[in-house]
Each structure stands twice: as structure tokens, then as C-alpha cells.
Structure 1
Amino acid sequence: MLRKFFMKRFRTFAIIMFIPLLLLFIIMGFMNIYTQQEELKKQGANTLKSINDNIVYVVYSTIHQQDVMMGSAQYKLALQKLLSHAQLEFKDVVFMNAIENFLKSSETSYPYINSVYLYINGRDNFLASSSDQLASIKTYFDKDWFNHYKKIPKEDEQFVETRWLKRYSYEAAKEVITIYQRMKYAKGVIVVNVNAKNFGMMIDNMLYHSGQSFFYLNKKGDTLFASNPDTASDVTSKKGFFSDIIKEYEAKGKFSKNQEWVNINGKYYLFYIEPAAYYETYFVSMISFDVFADSLLDFLKLALAILLLNFLIVMLLAWITTKSAFKHITYLVDVFSAAERGEFIEKPQLIVKDEYNLIMNNILFLFIKNSQMQTKLMEKQHQNEITEIMALQLQINPHFIFNTLQTMDLEVLKEKGGQSTLHTMIQELSRIIKYALTNPTEPVTLREELNYLKAYLQIQEIRFNHIIITYFEIDDEILDHQVFRLMLQPMVENSVNHGIKSTERRCYLKIKGYLRNDEINIAVIDNGCGMTKDEIAELYIKINDPSSKNIGLTNLNRRLVLHYGDRSKLHIRSKKDMGTGIYFRIPVQTGEIKKSYV
């Protein structure tokens, strides 16, 4: 049963929590795809711009500065003399030193520049940054550049190619990207050899991640440099891929596949191409789909982790709520069973966690209260039956008692021959019995209650040999107020029996009544033996306990609370060897008080 309810709650909670979460992840997934794709596009564009601004621009500046210097007639004449082995003047030597220093500075300042050549057409020699003297076209280790230069069409001002250089027989050949730039102010050429390996290292530092590849193309679409051999192999397998794109660009003036995913040899790449600012070349950035997939995979891992955590939370919530519900149900069943058996049930502790708990607690509380009231009613009925039996056993005709007392009074008068203490006691006792036995449920005035109390005190003074002196301090305006019978007698009896009886000295007893704030305040004060704080606390326990043997004050306190509420319950003040005061207050009532059946 528990498992069935747990699964039901789990499904409910899962639907509530998983559906919004899945919708959120779907929306975030689309946003992540779009964001990542846009970010990759920016990375491709920024990479090409950075390469163009930092590396290629340096090469272009090297060539351009040298070309501008050739615009100086003196500079050009000095270079021609040098290359022709003509005698140089001092100023020509200065120019030559400047040229050599400039060529060497370019090579030493930028590690990816392998060497720089200056050549004037028709000469057998040329200047090389890698040589301390004139280099001969016939004897210099690098002869291929000159052969390639002669094959360049005269209308082409620029030309870029990839070559291999090997200076010494014992060293491995180095791949270089050779850039040819015809001089504008002389018939000759400026050649810059770029070390492909060092160039590649610089390119790798500018790429955003290992999944990005860079291609450097000439105007025909041939690959001059590729940063990733694997990607280059994929492109090579698709013949004419770059050349077709460049032809389309030259024809239409735009790239149709720019910033799009292209399929090459079964692999997808985010393709971006851009014309270089110099040398009629092109830059290409290709970002593998694996990079995009990795970013999506990270998102999926995060989403799955959150879903798993959510799954555990749902299970925990379902288990806690199911256990709590079954605990509550078990408690309800136990309570109902106990109530049916007539057992006493304490009021449940109210713990409101939700609407369900609030409703169930209210139902349970009402059920328990109803069961307790039924139990108390049955107990009350049983007590009433016992009381009725006792009343029947003790019932004596009041007229018989009065007649007997009158007969005794006449006999005393005959015996004593007039008024006596015994005669007074019989007279007062007759008044007391008549007052007590006259319909105890009917209310009386406070005046009548005080008259009865005076008769009671008259007998007590005679009993205690007139050591009790009684004072009445009662406001006239409250004398006609209605109260229930025998309201004051239990308080006076308590003072006499417990405060005055144990002392042999003269004692004073004050009965005080006054009106304040629409309430009648009654006090009975004596200067008897008094009580300690512990004794006062013990007395409070007794008068609030229905089963207490202290019947007088207990019964009075209960009647006051029943008639007038908790505000009218008894209050006790006392100090050891100084006396005791018992107080209560009742509201002023315009009509009759309700009848007492106690």
C-alpha cells in the first residue's frame, strides 16, 4: 500500500517538476546552439583579422618599406653599383650598410621571416639578409627563387608560392612561403621567405582552440599553408574545393558558403573565407563540428546532472510526504479506535504544514472533543445518579426539622426561664437551615446572603467564646444585586476553621464588598495564622481539582467560573502569622442570574 501511494505521488511530483524543467532545457538548448554558433563565427572572423593585422602586415611592411626606399635615386644608384661591382663612394657605402642592417633587422626581429632578397634585373648578384656579402645567383644555395621569378608573368606584380630550402647537406629541408613583389621604382623584385614552421607556431597561438584550422591560399586557390594536416587532407580529398569558391567570388563578388557548415569527406566544418589585404591571397578559418559538439555536450552533461538531482529530489519529496501521510493516517486510525473503546485521548498537537494537515487536524480535534464530551457526559450522568441516590437517602422533611428546633427552643425557654445562649444558637440555627434548604437553585440578593452569613457568624462567635470580632464593610449600592446562595459562607468557614481556629488570641474577620468598573468585588480577610507560598500553591491546586476533599472552596470556585467565567475565579493572598485574604469579582447583571444546579 505504501509503495503504491509512493509511486502515485512520485508520478505526480515528476510531472509537476520535470515538464517545466524539460521545457526550460529545450529553450536553453536552442539558445545555447544559437549562441555557440554565433560565438564560433566570431572566433573565425577574429582569427583571420588578427592574422592579417599582426603577421601578414609585418611581411607587407617589410616589403613596402624597401620598395619605398627604392624610390630614392641615390639609394637605387648605390644598389645598382653594388650589384654591378662598381666602385662605391663613401655615401654609397653608408646606403649599403643601411640596406644590409634593414634586411637583417627584419629577419632577426620576426622569427617567422627566414630571409629577405633584393634583386635588380639583369644583375648576376643580389642582396640577401642571410648573407654578409653579395650573393651570386649561380653559386648561392637558394637558386630556385630566381628560376621561379623568371616564370612569373610580367603583368603580375605579386606572386606567392610554397618552396623547400636546404642550405646545408646535413640539415633537413625547411618549408617556406615565398612572396615576390615587383619593385615600383626599379626593375627588380623584393623576395621574402617566411618560415612555414615558425609561421605555423604563430598561427597556432592565435587560434581559439585545437579544433580550428587556418589555411593560406593563393589567388588560384592553392594551399600555401595549412595549420592542421588532418583538415588539409580532408580538403585535398575534395578536389577543387577552394578554387571553385574563389572562382565564384571573382565572378559574383561574394562568397556563397561563408559562415556556413560544409561537409568535407564526411566531416562538418564551420567555413569562413576572407580575402587577404595583400598579395592577392585568401585566409580561411575552418572550425570542426567537434568543437561545437563539445560545447553542446557540456550543456547536456549539466542538464542531465540537474535532471538527475531533480529526480532524487522528487523521490525524496514523494517518500517524505507519503511517510508523513501514512503516519498521519495511522495516528487517525489509532485515535478513532481509542475513541470507540471509550479511552481518554489527549488533544493532538496542531502542526499545520499544508491545507491537508489543517483540515485533518480540525476534523481530528472535533472528533476528539466530541468523544471527550460524550465521555464526560456519561460520567456526569453517573455522578448525578449517585447524587440523586444520596439525596434520597438524606432527604428529610424541612418542616420536621423546623418543628423539632421550635420544640427544643420552647423547652430551653421553660428550662432557663428566659433568653439564654442556647436559645440564641437554636434561633440562629433555625434561620440557617431554613435559608439553606429553601430551593437552592433560586438566586438571592446580596443582602439576604449577608443576613444568612451574620446568623452563621453568631453561632461561630459563641463556639469560639467570642474571640472573633467581625466587621462588615459593604457598599449599599450592591446590596440588592442578585447572587447564588451560599456564596460567602465557604470563604468565612475557611477563615474560621483554618485561620482562626488554631489561634487562641482575639482575631478579626472582615467581609468587604464594593463596586468598581461595573464589577462587584468581594473579599474575606482575617488576621489568623496565614500561609506560606508553598501552602498557597497547594491550596490553588486543591480548589482547581474537582476531586479535591476541600469541598467548600473547590465547589465555590467551580460555581463562580460556571456562572461568571474564569475572570471570577478565587484569588488568595496570605502571609504566614499575619493573615489571609480571599477575593473574587463578579460582573454587575441587570437581570436575574441563571439558576444553579450544582
Structure 2
Amino acid sequence: KSGQLELLQEEGYSSERKAVEQEFLYYLQNHTNSRPYIHSGYVAFFETPDRFLVSNLGVQDINSYHDINWIDTAMSLRDKRNPEALTVRRTTRFFSFEENQEIITVFRIIRSGIHPVGVVVLNIKPSYFDSLMRRLLLVEGQTIEIYNEQGETIYSYSKGAMLENGDYLKVVEKGSMFSSVSMTPYAQLFKLPIQLSKILLLVIFLLSILVLVITYLDVRWNTRRLEVISGILDAAAKGETIPRRIVRREDEYGYLIEEMIRLFVANEETKIQLIEKKSKFNELELMALQAQINPHFLFNTLETINWEASRLTGSLQNNISGMVQNLSDVLKYSLSNPSDPVTLKEELYYAQCYVAIQQQRYSDTIEVLWDIDQEALSSKGMKLLLQPLIENAIYHGAKEKEASSTIVIRIRRLDEFISLCISDNGTGMKAEQLAMVKLRIEEEGMEESHIGLKNVYKRLKLHYGDSVQFSIDSEWRVGTSITILIPYIPMSDEHNS
């Protein structure tokens, strides 16, 4: 501040001046100690040139301090014709026991407003810059010099001795206060690229020879492999014995030869197996024709029981006849060709026949509610889709509940999909049981429990693929709900296609 600067220029000594000097000294010490390249710093005022501040010693007198050859240069900056800042290289010593050393000194004017009142002086160690230069990747004989505003050399560094007779690449950079010159010998500058070029040419030559040798060996090896393959093909075409050569499976040729031998050998074995399978197929066909007699015998027997029950009761409308008729319909439907197309309406009818049988068995303990969207019934369905799910709801939900239970079958059309939901208010499942059921229906093989549920899930995946959605929700002592989403496929469209 201007008030503090005026106080420092006054004659005499006071507590206020001491406080200001301590503040300037603290500022000077912070700047010099925090920068490793600064040796020391001074602050001198034009009005009191015999006293000045030293960064590491405090206030010093011109008669007691050794380094004073900078004072004349600092005082000369008061002249307006001189620059605001100046950098010089000088030789000095700071203490009597030291030897003279080279130092770079930077001067800069202190102003109070527009009036110059003093100078800040920083002494910079050239040795610090020498250590930095040694870390740079300089070539042998390269020299770097730094000049001040007057063109005087203030710093110079050379790596090795300079060449007496040689051309140099000179690079000059000019700044506001300093300029630098880098001189590099052309011989050293291009020495490394020339050596690298020679090494590169040698490597290319050796690689070319190596590639030629590898190519020759590879062609020779592949030619032999092709001769082996040709021999195998000729032998197979003439019906001769295939040569059983031991071939190591190391590349595509070895793999091809091994596979050809394996396939030709397997072909002979396949001919024998086909003869055996044809004989077994004829035997199985006879057994299948014989097995067709059993369902027809079962249907005829059920019809006989139905008429006998009607004759004994004197009426066609009785529980026994109804159960026999429903059972006959369900068996006939389940034993028919599974590939025959059916509508959801047909599937619903046979599911209702099954429910009627179960309601006769469990009397009033199970109530079944039907919530059916008539638009959905014209869609193509899958045989035995509802019956196993209703059976699962009865035996794993409603049957295990002590009180009466309700099963709701809901079928809805949702634009391009059909939603089928079978829910019950039976015992339900705990979270661990539900997770286990979901895991088991995904696994291969059949489990002892939930066979129908897994059967339906697998058949849905085979029939509809990824377009089907199958979900199970259950809560302990609340009930279980199974929801299926399948594509809506009108039966008329199926027949037309």
C-alpha cells in the first residue's frame, strides 16, 4: 500500500515502521522459500539506499552486508529512461566465508501510484537450471543460451563439448523479457534416424527371408494334406477301403481329414443300423395297430356301463350316467390326435366335463366360477391346456384346504392375445415353495409333483415359442393364480393358411 511504502522511506525507526518491515519481510520470505530456484531476495528503497530488507536476514546495512554490488544497478532504475525490469548475471558472495559464485539477478521497480519508490531484487541459482537441463533429452554438443532485454547472456548450458567445425541447427525464441537460442549439431541431430533406418532395412531383409521360408514349408505341407484328402475321396468313390492314416488334428486340414474318415466309417455303420431300425419299426407299427384296439374297447365299455346305469335307474339323466358320459368325452378328447386343431371353445367344453366329474366327487367343497369372453373362444387353442391347470388348482390348492374353496377360470381377449387365468383361494404357497416350483418347471425331466403344470408349460413353449407368457403368483393362506398369455389365432385363418 502507498501509506506503508511512504513509512518505509522515512528516516528514523518506529514501531509502525517495524511492523511494516516485518510484513514486507514475511511476503519476501514466502516467495523465496517456496521456489527452489531462488537463492535470496532484497527490497530496497530509493530514499534510503543504505538500508534494505534481505529475505533470510531481515533489515541489513550497506556497511555490514557483503553482497552490495547490485545496489548501483538497482538505484539506476529510478531513471525513467531505464526499463521497468532488468536481468543481469553477476559474480558475488553473500558471506565472508563463502567463495564467489555466479548468480542471476532480476530487478523490478516498486511504484506508489505512478512514482517509483524502490526495487525488488531476486537472486536466482543457475545450478537449479543446470539440473533441469540435465533431465532434458539433449543431443551431444547441443547448447542452450538465454539472453536478457539488452542481449546479454545470463545463462548458458552445453551438453558435452561443442564441435569446432560443424553446422548447427539454430532455433531462436523471443519473449517480452528474455530470448533463448538452441544450437544443435546437424551431425548429432540426424545420427539416430540414420542408425534406425539401417536397423529397419536389416530387419525387413531378415523378415522377407523368413516369410519366404515359412511360405515354402506351408505350401509343401498343405500339398501333402490335399493329396491325402484326394486319396480318401478316390477310395470312397471306388468303394475301396478308406486309408486309416493317423492325422494330428492341428489345423483345418487335419480336422477335415479326421472328419472325412469318421463320416465314411460312420456311413457303413449307419447302413447296418438302418436295416436294424427298419425291422424294429415294422414291429412297433404292429404294436401301435394293436394298441388302437384298447381305446375303442374302453369307449365301448363306458357306453355299455352308461346304458346299463340308465336301464337300472330307468332314466338317462342320473349322476352315474353323467359322470360316465363326461369321462368318455374327456378320454376320447385326450386320446385323439394331438396335432388336430381345436378352438378354445372345444377346449373349454372338455374342461367343463372334467370339472363336472370332480364336483360329483367333492360335492359341495369345491365351487368353480367361469368368467368367459365369447370373442376369445373362436381362437385356435392347444389340446389339454385348461384341464391340467384346473387339476393342479384342485389337488394342490382347494383339496388341501379344510373349508370349501373357489376356483375361478377367466378367459379374455386382449387385442392380439388371449389371457387365460386359473386362480383359487386354497392354501397357497410360501415364497420358498413358489421359487422352487418356478425353478422345477424350467428344468428338464419330470418331477413327482406339479407334473401337469410342467407338462403344460413345456407344450406351450413348443407350440408358441417365445410369444407365450407364463406366470405363477401365490401367497401363503391366500391362494394361487396362474396366468397365460397366448397369441389370438382365429380358426378360420388357420384353415385358410
Range into which the TM-score falls when normalised by the shorter chain:
0.3 to 0.5
| Greater fraction strand | 2
TM-score (norm 1): 0.38
TM-score (norm 2): 0.45
Task: Report 1 or 2 for greater relative contact order, CA contacts < 8 Å, sequence distance ≥ 6.
Answer: 1
| Greater fraction helix | 1
